[in-house]
């Protein structure tokens, strides 16, 4: 996965991205649709890409980081996001707390390329 998603792309096997809702520091939020049993379901899906681009990697290197340090730097962001999902899992079903339907896990990590997430 290259982190450059756009409306029309299919993610997580069956969700078709229909429009960009917003962007944040770690990725983009898309409206998505899927069809099951003749019904159309909608959801917001946040696509997280760490690092966002090769320029982020180059920026870290320009700060004097070697490859191991760059990997550790970006991995720390991934670990924090995973902790956030763990907390969301514990709070699932609590009033006024956003919930989610799948817990993403990194399926690839090369340190200097984007992680792919799956459920």
CATH number at residue 21: 3.30.200.20
Residues 44 and 74 grouped into a single domain: no
Give the residue, 52 or 102, on which the prediction is more confident.
52
Euclidean distance between the first and the last CA atom of the chain, given in angstroms as a whole number: 15
Residues 15 and 28 grouped into a single domain: yes
Cβ neighbours of 87 (radius 10 Å): 11
Strands 27-36 and 15-23: antiparallel
In this predicted model, what pLDDT tens digit does every residue of 39-56 receive, in sequence order?
Answer: 999 988 888 888 888 888
Q: Is the dihedral of CA 88, 71, 24, 35 positive or negative?
A: negative
Q: Which domain holds residue 89?
A: 52-102
In this predicted model, what pLDDT tens digit does every residue of 69-81 receive, in sequence order?
Answer: 998 998 898 888 8
Looking at the 3D structure of the chain, how many domains does it have?
A: 2
In a domain, 12, yes or no: yes
């Amino acid at each position: 996965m290259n982190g450059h998603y756009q409306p029309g792309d299919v993610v997580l096997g069956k969700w078709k991205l229909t429009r960009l809702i917003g962007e944040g520091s770690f990725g983009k939020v898309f409206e998505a649709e899927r069809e099951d049993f003749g019904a159309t379901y909608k959801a917001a899906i946040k696509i997280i890409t760490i690092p966002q681009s090769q320029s982020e990697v180059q920026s870290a290197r320009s700060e004097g980081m070697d490859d191991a340090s760059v990997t550790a730097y970006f991995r720390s962001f991934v670990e924090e996001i995973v902790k956030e999902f763990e907390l969301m899992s514990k709070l699932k079903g609590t009033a006024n707390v956003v919930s989610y339907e799948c817990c993403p896990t990194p399926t690839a990590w090369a340190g200097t390329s984007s992680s792919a997430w799956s459920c």
